[in-house]
Structure 1
């Protein structure tokens, strides 16, 4: 199959999936107007089903290792690209915390909102309100995934996990589920998948769709009991676990063991 034909087939498949997502989101809007109870559980199930199809429309071959938790946890992952969301969202019914800018993205922002995504403005004063939302979400027994680095990287490092985003796990006693995601191309770090710098969504998407199939490794690591750990130590332990899974023993892990 020629590259041009393959690209156009991928675009057609993606558009079909997005059309399906719009239909599902419209249905959720109808349910909201009808005042249906327990709508978040419905949102999570529909979101997982949709994100699995979206992930399947992207040129990635995904391998998941580790055990999907059978109880609600706060999932924390390193962050490489917007593609992390469909790939991780296909693993389990999840809600996400995302930067507020995503809400303004055409189509994708509306879909994210209808899927139950919580949005936070970087550097704003609404972090307390978001923290209350996270605590309430976990307290109601639902999985939640956050990217505590607060930004994306090229996959060559893991930035500091912002401890304030883990306060909800400490307050509710919900365990933390560390997740490590890595993109590989020909056995090396993929330089196409990262969504960083001045990238815009459309240009990045087209670049991904034109590329060869890449490998994605998703590692579900040993859960960390929040227990009596403070949020700072919990953030360091979670970051260290992710870093060790990706690169071997991290500086944080060495410091914690000392």
Structure 2
């Protein structure tokens, strides 16, 4: 059991019982097949992409997008996206509520996630993350220069990096203060004048009658238990992705000012459109 920040009560994912296991199988089997086939196609096509385009990936990101859309379809979770999409070199930030963020954010835009290094070794998730081109980083100041160089290389290759400035997933109704450390990488001479950044607010609407934190995955919740709870749900809610107006990095004096602006965009939409308690 784990405690959320705002509600003050504990919540534990409900284990499937009886007929709920049929829903788990009905949703889980096609999702597993979609992800497996998608990864096989990606790995096969990367053999062609890599020698022809180097860092460029003109085809395989669309396989990721299609696999995520199909997975959400089989889960029964619709996604509504509004707002402009960033064009040209840029990075994206979003609030972080759940492992579902990977599916929802990938389903509407080709992005490459920035993740803590230990995720690479997580069962299942780590394999998917590596295959989809995730950038893994260590939160170690001694590696800051190498990580900045890596960001610059990926961004100049046309990769749109996405990271979660809260630093952890939440209960789906709370937005934590943005950590500013990673924003410093975008103020280098090679990026500051060419780069845009876009904030995205991710809003999860729980199934009717369920705790509004239903899709939140945080603290010491086990991934498997939460996954089963979502797959077993008798009915599903929906997700909103609100894309905010992109901003130029060069319009801000430093990382803290940029982080505050993007956090305000995320919080503003979250407060205005989040479902009532």
| TM-score where L is the length of structure 2 | 0.80
Alpha carbons 2:89, 2:156 under 8 Å: kept: no
| Partner Cα separation in structure 1 for residue 209 and residue 115 of structure 2 | 30
CA distance in 2, matches of 1:37, 1:237: 35
Root-mean-square deviation over aligned CA pairs: 2.3
Match of 1:178 in 2: 199
1:31 is displaced (CA, Å) by 4.2
For the residue of structure 2 that corresponds to 1:227, the secondary structure is: helix
The residue correspondences of 1:40-59 to structure 2 (distance < 5 A) are: 40-41=56-57, 42-59=59-76
Determine which of 218, 225, 240 is the counterpart of 2:248. 225
The 5 A counterparts of 1:235-250 are 235-248=259-272
Classify 1:36/1:54 alpha carbon distance in 2 versus 1 (closer, same or farther; 3 Å): farther
Note the C-alpha offset of 1:56: 2.5
Map 1:52-91; keep pairs closer than 5 Å: 52-91=69-108
The CA deviation at 1:207 is: 1.1
Does the CA-based 8 Å contact 2:173-2:212 persist in structure 1?
no
1:159 matched to which residue of 2? 176
Q: Distance in 2 between matches of 1:95 and 1:206?
A: 26
1:207 aligns with 2:229: yes
Whether the 8 Å contact between 2:55 and 2:157 is mirrored in structure 1 is no
The answer (yes or no) to whether the contact 2:42–2:63 under 8 Å persists in 1 is no
Aligned pairs for 1:31-42 (under 5 A) are 31=48, 35-41=51-57, 42=59
Q: Distance in 2 between matches of 1:138 and 1:55?
A: 28
How far apart are 1:221 and its partner, in Å? 0.8
Residue ranges of structure 2 left out of the alignment (5+ in a row): 1-18, 273-277
CA 1:151–1:98: 2 relative to 1, 3 Å: same
1: CA distance, partners of 2:46 / 2:63 = 13
> Cα–Cα, structure 1 residues 197 and 124, in superposed 2: closer, same or farther, change >3 Å?
farther
Farther off after superposition, 187-196 or 9-18: 187-196
Task: Identify unmatched segments of 5+ residues in structure 1.
Answer: 249-258
Asked which structure has the greater RCO (Cα within 8 Å, sep 6+), the reply is 2
Evaluate the alpha carbon distance shift between residue 155 and residue 197 of structure 1 in structure 2; reply closer, same or farther with a 3 A threshold. Answer: same
State the distance in 1 between where 2:177 and 2:23 align. 39
Indicate whether 1:216 and 2:233 are aligned.
no
* Cα distance between partner residues in 1 of 2:127 and 2:198: 27
Q: What is the aligned length? A: 246
For 1:63, what is the secondary structure of its paired residue?
Answer: strand
Could you tell me how far apart the structure 1 residues matched to 2:81 and 2:29 are? 27
Does residue 1:92 correspond to 2:109, yes or no? yes
Change (3 A) 1:203 1:17: same
Structure 2 distance, partners of 1:202, 1:108, is: 11
| Aligned 1:111-190 pairs, distance under 5 A | 111-123=128-140, 125-171=142-188, 172=191, 173=193, 174-185=195-206, 186=208, 190=212
Alpha-carbon deviation of 1:188?
8.2
| Compared CA separation, residues 102 and 208, structure 1 to 2 (3 A) | same
Change (3 A) 1:25 1:140: closer
